[in-house]
Amino acid sequence: MLPYIIGGAALGAAGFAGYHSLAWRSQLYGETFIGTPGRGKKLALTYDDGPNDPHTLHLLDVLAKHKVKATFFLIGKFVQQRPDIVQRIVAEGHAIGNHTMTHPRLPLLSSAQVRAEFEGCAAAISRAGFQHEKIFRPPFGLRRPATLRIARELGYTPVMWTVTCFDWKKTTADRVEQHARKQITGGDVILMHDGGFEQMGADRAHTVTATEDLINEYKDKGFEFVTVPEMMKTGF
């Protein structure tokens, strides 16, 4: 019986560890910024996996129209391809953060490889002529203690989220909005995607439409949209 108990305990521990490497609110492996959930009237729109042609550009049009600033977590390989899009992001007052060079599953990499992913993205942004905030979002939300330790050694604050809209897959704007409404309570960091990590050109039209609808709806409800660095400084 004992081997079965030990085996079951090991499987349970593995499941527990796996859950907390994925759970976006979990702080088990180290503190991450997730906003001030349930408190205040500020919301931080964040977008992963860009820059992406053409949908990052369409998204910037929407944000400019409504005078809303957002936070973009950029993939270094795409920054190298389209520095002109990054230039517009920065010029229009949005914050940019590090989303690694190639969007790997960081827990599967060695410490040296993890460090190279951070530094590669930072170098790509720097070579394009820009500075990024010292904020980082792990690809797929995956992190372990070593991941966060390396991030902090490099001066980064890890940023997760409290609202996920499942817009990384084929969906509709209405479904994206429904997911958001079910989770928004105030003080939220909202996860969306303006690109796809595999290649440039991912269809994110549903994200663009949902963004405009959510801005209109939550502005009418008295919410203010801020960047992640602004939320970090001022809280709720």
Using alpha carbons, select from 220, 185, 190 the residue that is nearest to residue 39: 185
In terms of C-beta density within 10 A (0-12 exposed, 13-18 middle, 19 or more buried), how is residue 72 classed?
A: buried
Collapsed DSSP state (helix, strand, coil) of residue 104: coil
Amino acid at 193: H
Task: Confirm if 28 and 177 have CB atoms less than 8 A apart.
Answer: no
* Residues designated catalytic: 48, 193
Cα–Cα distance for residue pair 99/76, rounded to 1 Å: 7
Cα–Cα distance for residue pair 209/180, rounded to 1 Å: 13
Cα–Cα distance for residue pair 120/48, rounded to 1 Å: 17
